[in-house]
Structure 1
Amino acid sequence: MKNLLLSGILCCSLVSLGSVYAQKTEAPKYITNVEGVKEYSLNNGLKVLLIPDASQSNMVVNIVYNVGSRNEGYGEKGMAHLLEHMLFKSTKNLGDIKKMLSDKGGNANGTTWLDRTNYYEIFPSSDENLKWSIEMEADRMINSTILQTDLDKEFSVVRNEFEIGENNPDGVLQERILSSAYVWHNYGNSTIGSKEDIERVKANTLRVFYEKYYQPDNSTLIIAGKFDEQKALQYVGQYFGAIPRPKRVLDKTYTIEPAQDGEKYVELKRAGDSKNVGALYHTVSYADKDYAAIDALGEILTADPSGYLYKTLVETQKASNIYFWQPSVRDASFIYFGVAVPNDKDVYATKEIVRSELDKITTTKYTDKDVSRAKAKIIKQIESVKNNTISYAINLTEIIGAGDYRLGYLYRDAVEKLTKEDIQRVAEKYFRPNNRTVGVFIPSKDEVRVKPNEYTDEQLLALTKDYKGKALEKEAAPFEASIKNLKQNFVEGKLTNGIKYGLIKKEIKGGKVQASFKFPVSNEKDLTGKSDIAGILAQLLKTGTKTQTKEQIQDKLDQLKSSINFNFSRQTLSVSVNTYKEHFKEVMGILADLLANSTFPENELTKTISEYNTYLESSLNDPQAVAFTEISRITTKYPKGSIFYTPTIQEQIDAFKKIKQAEIVDFYTNFLGGNNGIGSVVGDLDAKTTGEILENTFGKWNSKSKYELAQPAYFETQKLDKDIITPDKENAVALGRISFKMDRKNPDYPAFVMANEILGSGGFLSARIPMRLREKEGISYGAGSFIDVPITNDAAAWTYYAFLNPTKKNAVETATKEEIAKALKDGFTAEELKSNLVSWQNERKTRLGVDNTLMELVNTYLQYGIALDDYDQLETKVKALKVDEVNKVLKKYLTLDKMTSVYAGDFNKKQ
């Protein structure tokens, strides 16, 4: 406590921005340009990174503070995360942050991790949004109010978030293994913190932590997307430059985890429906040259289908799934292997099998092909993130937390230079039993122990200061986020077998190309009883063809930095493609092979069903899975076997077990085909060439089954409240649904959209239901509503949801229904309509700047004839609404007398 108080005394007092804005502002100093990332700095220590991308229609402002759970002391566990929540409350100058974010729409969030905390806002590009975001982040850097009254409400929300995580068996096991693996270092502590610390911390203690770490010399501001660079620098100088450099000096953390001196074993026993085995090895910091080699080794060991561990554990059905991850952190890190165990397997026997296979890592002789394959996959992932500027700016949070933004380039360079000798070296050095946490202590002699390397700030600076990076890439052309611009850059076509397609001419960073195809097949009658077969088939379409094995297909896609994914729902096969301009033709050739020549190996069918059923078994007692399944079953009355029928989780498990390979092949041969399909492609492609490529891919791929659009039926809901007990689960779920007749052409649709927006969906947690449950009473971590109004039929529904502590069930039920009843009785106000309209419009504009939205609009036009202009026409209709019209429509369609509600959780809990 003395140290905590002393650090508070050393911190400089908060400086009101209002008193210094009038002072002469500072122009940020240019430092360097590394591969399009332009670095600046201010005299107060703030680092500024600008990442312009004219091809975007959105921009992101992301501020990263170098403080996370690593910096927490005794009694402070979870303080960084709790403070993240509190900084969305209010500031001395601007007031209610959350309300302002809600009014402006867009997308905003904050996250906390081991080494860093970040806050970001994604808005449509404009000088107004740019200025406001920078001003707001500067204001809450030093002027957040952090009131005890706000904290009293928020701690229960954070506790609820804690409880949600406690429902995940794999996540809790991982947390326990980490806490056993680390004796002294804070990486062994959960970022979300101790529930007791969360509940007992006081606002004045939280403020000491805030004043110490939330300062310009401990932060990096990132601005990315489409924005005016000069104005950005002007606003940064105006608002952040006015903040003085703090007088306090941040003490460096100095705890180093000692070398582990024997294998550790932890056993966790608690409620759950899945079996898991985990194993952890201590590794190195992100800055270390060995980090890239260890990452590549993780891919070599676990990749589906080529991984050594994957082949010995999953291929043989000893496990249903295996994955690894190695966090990119400032100090010595770890690599974690997670293994999912089928319920019919003995977890103790599997644990010994896993240990035996892990022991082989140090003696396995890795090949050049292993390394080449892993490098291709990692580089593909790096390039994919880099060429999505908004995501890249947010992803930099982790790299900055690890020490410096340039470490990401050094990591990429290290991956590109990897050899099999590097892999062999790290395998032998780090993957020793005495550096592992999974089992019991075993005495042994002459242990060669792994001592983590320490990187000082001076070493990091020496490593990165002169790094220049690769040559700058060509900047993508601007693309305005509007329907008018979409239409101007849209080319429509049709293949010989009737498939309709659209090309959206747009330059994407790195020459990226995205495509989305939908192939509806057959009819409701012929598809009866085949939903499970179709679902599994979609997952097996990349497991081998007459000419290529699963491994060869995956290797080729990784080398091309591309991906193909399939999904089947009801009567439609969906295909998504991510690739690059120079690889588009070759990747579509791979897709054509998958659609025409897939073989569906028996062993892949067995593995896929095992993986799916292991996941489903873990959901049998999960409140969220149980609640959403049950409300769908109660509110629709389809016969079993219908493509619209919702099976119980156990029915789904049993159905998957019965699927035969012959049924998969029969469906593939007689049902799949593209002659009724549609698709859209986004990229800087030639229209004629694109049409030829699509013709070669799909032009002769036809279904043998007669196609008729299957339409869901309307079922009237009844007043019902149903409780489902899920024993010993820390979290609970509340759902409510009412059905009504409406399609999107209905004249009431625009008014109902806004009614839902005001009641539960709109803004940044500022609609009535989330405001009541989370902000005012702090009884739910997440609450809101959504609507499902179809295009081709009138079977519509409105649904509310809330995630809660089981002991708050009655309070949540009362509060939710009171808010609905109040809205029905008194209606909304004109001011509510006005404020939610602004956030709704901004959210739509933000969405229009996303390529997936463009493809969705084009596909809807191609499939249903819904004009692209309808997007703007809906907005015109909504803007013309009067509040009386919204209230009238709300009362017309919603009533508590027909509301079906489901509550799932351990409601026998007393506290």
Structure 2
Amino acid sequence: MKNLLLTAAVVFYAGIYTPVYSQKAETPKFISNTEGIKEYSLSNGMKVLLLSDPSQSNAVVNIVYNVGSKHEGYGEKGMAHLLEHMLFKSTKKLGDIKKMLSDKGGNANGTTWYDRTNYYEVFPSNDENMKWFLEMEADRMINATILQSDLDKEFSVVRNEFEIGENSPSGVLMERIVSTAYLWHNYGNSTIGSKEDVERVKAVTLRKFYEKYYQPDNATLIVAGKFDEKKTLEYISQFFSTIPKPSRVLEAPYTVEPPQDGERFVELKRAGDSKVVGALYHTAPYADKDYAALDALQEILTADPSGYLYKAMIDSQKAASVYAYQPLVRDASFMYFGLEVPADKDIKATETEFRKELDKVATIKYTEQDVARAKAKILKQIENIKNNTIGSAINLTEIVGAGSYKLGMLYRDNIEKLTVADVQKVADKYFKVNNRTVGVFIPTKDEVRVKNVEYSNEQIASLTDNYKGKALEKETAPFEASIKNLKANLVEGKLSNGMKYGLIKKEIKGGKVLGSFRFPVSNNKDLNGKSDVGSLMAQVLKTGTKSKTKEQIQDMLDGLKSNVNFGFGGQTLYVNFSTYKENLPKVMGLIKEILTESTFPEAELAKTVNEYNTYLEGSLNDPQSIAFNEIEKITQNYPKESIYYTNSTKEQIENNKKVKRDQLVDFYNKILGSNNGVGSIVGDVDGKEATALLESTFGKWDSKSKYEYIKPELFATKKQDKEYLTPDKENGAAVGKISFSMDRKSPDYPALVIANEMLGSGGFLTARIPTRLREKEGISYGAGSYVNIPIESNVASWGWYAFYNPTKKDAVNKALKEEVNKAVKDGFTEEEYKSNLTSWLNSRKTGLGNDNTLMNLVNGQLQYGVPLEEYDALEAKVSALKVSQVNDVLRKYISEDKLTSVFAGDFNKK
């Protein structure tokens, strides 16, 4: 489930079998406390890391196994990833893991990469939950069933995942370049694997792989968030320490990629609409000091707007976007550059120009400002990750896979100490033509070749064993995830111009402060035909003010370890920020400057349109984009000037080309304003100071256009299926929609919410639609349903979606409609209702542990008058329902006779 987020909610399960092993339980041995990460070990070889954060209401259990695609042998390509899928099936002791995860809830996922595989679960924190999730991970470490019958179904799901990736020209090109750059090391193999190996591997072979690598001496258990440390250690002792250390000895992989001996070139020809150029250089392992310098160098080269490659290729409009990527890995890594090229540009000429610019990298004289700018951005990212405890625990997966969790701290230290000389050294060392993959072999004499750096486990241990890290930070205060507690810590107010705001008093790790603002503006007359102008205006907002260039704005944000983002859709401007308590005044000042003094440079508009249109060109023949776009077009009948009109991709490209700078300026000056807006801030901020900052920022910023809500129209859907052919695309997409009248005050709303949960959106892939399409028939990697019930209008809809091999289109259509008709005809069972109700309730509990959820709830109260108590009231209404009421509401609104469906894919494939 490499790129699949699997979500559900928590129920407590009695009578779980407790495995009994011959080995006696032992207390985990304390090793160290490094920067708040407490390290323990067990005698069976398992490592344990604890990251406590009382300010969280959630906890996460993340177990990392040191096995990934790097460890696969001949005929085993994709086995680590396939095994990851299989471990969501069942165990000998607990049974159906996927169903129980669905019942237990939270957010759960598994991922596979070059050096490691991990499984994690985020859930509302309490002792019973913690005990169950630790017991479950201990059980599936050694008791997975890995049945051939399960494998027969799952391989097609993994194949479908493979096919989804095959639809991306830039992704496929990168895969080909990486595989060409590596002759021997397994980093050259795609983690998702060979389709043929995945299809042909037998369960008995997969089990040998499992039994070799899924053992305590090859695992690191990470627990983070809010938890009782003493009890958690007791659970770890109970469930993990009793698992014996295996008798087999794991030999560390010893293949080292030899120095590349000439530039290599890949030419990929296949269907698609995007033009892409890629280039790869072999670099250093994460443990090496050069890795940090290389990360800084890639930022110096590609950052928007200051990067050398960005200026050479994007400012000149020779390309639409440039990016770089260096995987965080155990062995010698690589740096990959991608260049998106507009459709009207000559790909060969652009490739030649890009090579010339890459050839200059080793000769550029980098400046102190270059390095300071890169360090600021990277350190901001490090700080933001560190202060998101749940995310930080999951992020540790890669670092643990690279050798040791302490390597992340050493990497940070290396960034902090970085000098111009360090950057200059790695540019000269690695950026050689014969270390690059984009071209052909050219024999030359006296080549100075780059030798890959190799680190042994002992070398990494010598780097990390005695590393003490920085001083421990102050623990944040607990914050209960409940509406009652949110209300107790909320202060609401109104600015002088009428804008409403809410301040949520909550300590966030590191003193972080978040803000979310919505500014509804204008009316139907003044916004008529201006949707594209508004969208581009928001995209260009941050590109320059009267006193700051785009580069200076970005440098300031990086220096403040802050982010500010703008977006415009419908008739609302969205502003969001992330900063730290001490930097809040400067960030709010910058927001005010951007909202009142932006200059919209002509060149930046041209670059934005160029980049946006190149992105759109890449989706012209993409099945998913077509399916979701067309379902809106054929189920609505708005005039083109309406803010609710859905452009086709071609229309959007043409409209973007027509937008002029003076239109952006006019929209900015006449339409925008905060006098009808709402916003909320969460963090440990002083109420008076925050109010003063909000007044200074927004209090006098009024729109010249009168605000009037533009009501959407209800267009009835009808029974129809439409097909769109996308030649030579490996994957297909389907989406369906039924429109009807309902708002959230409707007495039918609670029943429809839980009906949709049971039909397609709830559970850990155990709702009816995903269970049928993915679990039972294996014809879709992702399938489900959704319901959209608005607050302000009564234009509602229910829909479904599925991604599949185009040859399975008829099977997908048949299965989907059979499940819908069966639910409508026979209804749901009492058991289904109770199971999904518990899942749904606990998923909402998990949601309350998210700061963005808190801000959205407060903003909803401020904007629409929806009291915070409605969150609990909805749960009470859903809990009080009888299953017969749910079935009646389902039949009232959902019917195949009203279902419009769109299918996109290459249906000529056999």
Q: TM-score range by the shorter chain?
A: over 0.9
Matched length: 895
| Matched AA of 2:297 | L
Structure 2 counterpart of 1:851:
851
Distance 1:376 1:515 in 2: 22
| Matched AA of 1:197 | D
Structure 1 counterpart of 2:792:
792
C-alpha displacement of 1:21: 5.4
SS in 1 for 2:527: coil
Structure 2 counterpart of 1:626:
626
C-alpha displacement of 1:19: 5.4
Structure 2 counterpart of 1:96:
96
SS in 1 for 2:542: coil
SS in 1 for 2:757: helix
What pairs with 1:85-124 in structure 2 (closer than 5 Å)?
A: 85-124=85-124
Q: Does 1:900 align with 2:905?
A: no
Distance 2:707 2:277 in 1: 46
| Matched AA of 1:739 | S
SS in 1 for 2:526: coil
**Unaligned segments of structure 1, at least 5 residues:** 1-15
Structure 2 counterpart of 1:492:
492
Deviations 1:66-91 (A, max 9, x none): 00000000000000000000000000
Distance 1:854 1:216 in 2: 39
What pairs with 1:437-452 in structure 2 (closer than 5 Å)?
A: 437-452=437-452
Deviations 1:6-45 (A, max 9, x none): xxxxxxxxxx995525864110000001100000000000
Q: Does 1:289 align with 2:292?
A: no
Structure 2 counterpart of 1:668:
668
Structure 2 counterpart of 1:606:
606
Deviations 1:666-686 (A, max 9, x none): 101111111110000000001
Distance 1:193 1:751 in 2: 43
C-alpha displacement of 1:525: 2.1
Distance 1:815 1:138 in 2: 36
Going from structure 1 to structure 2, the CA distance change for 1:461 and 1:364 (only over 3 Å counts) comes to same
Structure 1 counterpart of 2:521:
521
| Matched AA of 1:294 | L
Distance 2:733 2:381 in 1: 35
Structure 2 counterpart of 1:454:
454
Structure 2 counterpart of 1:360:
360
What pairs with 1:449-848 in structure 2 (closer than 5 Å)?
A: 449-848=449-848
Structure 2 counterpart of 1:257:
257
SS in 1 for 2:519: strand
| Matched AA of 1:160 | N
SS in 2 for 1:394: helix
Q: Does 1:33 align with 2:37?
A: no
SS in 2 for 1:542: helix
C-alpha displacement of 1:444: 2.1
C-alpha displacement of 1:442: 2.3
Going from structure 1 to structure 2, the CA distance change for 1:440 and 1:22 (only over 3 Å counts) comes to closer
TM-score, normalising length: structure 2: 0.98
| Matched AA of 1:143 | N
Structure 1 counterpart of 2:4:
none
Superposed CA RMSD: 0.9
Structure 2 counterpart of 1:144:
144
Distance 1:122 1:771 in 2: 22
Identity of counterpart residues, as a percentage? 70
| Matched AA of 1:897 | D
Deviations 1:539-583 (A, max 9, x none): 111100000010001000000000100000010000000000000
Distance 1:21 1:479 in 2: 39
Q: Does 1:410 align with 2:410?
A: yes
Distance 2:209 2:733 in 1: 34
Deviations 1:822-873 (A, max 9, x none): 0011000000000000110110000000000000000000000000000000
SS in 1 for 2:796: strand
Distance 2:586 2:501 in 1: 19
**Unaligned segments of structure 2, at least 5 residues:** 1-15
SS in 2 for 1:541: helix
What pairs with 1:107-186 in structure 2 (closer than 5 Å)?
A: 107-186=107-186
Structure 1 counterpart of 2:871:
871
- Contact kept, 8 Å, 1:40 with 1:49, in 2: the verdict is yes
Distance 1:701 1:540 in 2: 19
- Contact kept, 8 Å, 1:343 with 1:614, in 2: the verdict is yes
- Contact kept, 8 Å, 2:17 with 2:93, in 1: the verdict is yes
Structure 1 counterpart of 2:13:
none
- Contact kept, 8 Å, 1:17 with 1:242, in 2: the verdict is no
Distance 1:524 1:851 in 2: 34
Distance 1:364 1:754 in 2: 60
| Matched AA of 1:566 | F
Structure 1 counterpart of 2:885:
885
- Contact kept, 8 Å, 2:23 with 2:244, in 1: the verdict is no
Deviations 1:626-678 (A, max 9, x none): 00000000111101111000010000000000010010111011111111100
Distance 2:40 2:760 in 1: 42
- Contact kept, 8 Å, 2:19 with 2:139, in 1: the verdict is no
C-alpha displacement of 1:526: 1.4
| Matched AA of 1:565 | N
Q: Does 1:239 align with 2:235?
A: no
Distance 1:672 1:342 in 2: 32
Distance 2:18 2:870 in 1: 45
Distance 2:732 2:99 in 1: 27
Distance 2:562 2:791 in 1: 32
Structure 1 counterpart of 2:229:
229
Deviations 1:576-608 (A, max 9, x none): 000000000110000000000000000000000
Structure 1 counterpart of 2:8:
none
- Contact kept, 8 Å, 2:68 with 2:80, in 1: the verdict is yes
TM-score, normalising length: structure 1: 0.98
| Matched AA of 1:496 | S
- Contact kept, 8 Å, 2:19 with 2:93, in 1: the verdict is no
- Contact kept, 8 Å, 1:17 with 1:243, in 2: the verdict is no
Deviations 1:767-816 (A, max 9, x none): 00000000011000000000100001110000000110001001000000
C-alpha displacement of 1:761: 0.6
C-alpha displacement of 1:446: 1.1
Distance 1:117 1:850 in 2: 26
C-alpha displacement of 1:307: 0.3
| Matched AA of 1:863 | Q
- Contact kept, 8 Å, 1:21 with 1:239, in 2: the verdict is no
Distance 2:524 2:749 in 1: 28
| Matched AA of 1:360 | K
Q: Does 1:216 align with 2:216?
A: yes
SS in 2 for 1:514: strand
Structure 1 counterpart of 2:393:
393
C-alpha displacement of 1:441: 2.0
Distance 2:488 2:807 in 1: 56
Structure 2 counterpart of 1:860:
860
SS in 2 for 1:721: strand
Distance 1:320 1:880 in 2: 55
C-alpha displacement of 1:190: 0.1
Deviations 1:742-772 (A, max 9, x none): 0000000000001000000111100000000
C-alpha displacement of 1:360: 0.3
- Contact kept, 8 Å, 2:332 with 2:453, in 1: the verdict is yes
Structure 1 counterpart of 2:68:
68
| Matched AA of 2:724 | I
- Contact kept, 8 Å, 2:373 with 2:558, in 1: the verdict is yes
Deviations 1:77-107 (A, max 9, x none): 0000000000000000000000001111210
| Matched AA of 1:542 | K
Deviations 1:696-746 (A, max 9, x none): 111111110011011111111011100111100000011111011100000
- Contact kept, 8 Å, 2:17 with 2:94, in 1: the verdict is no
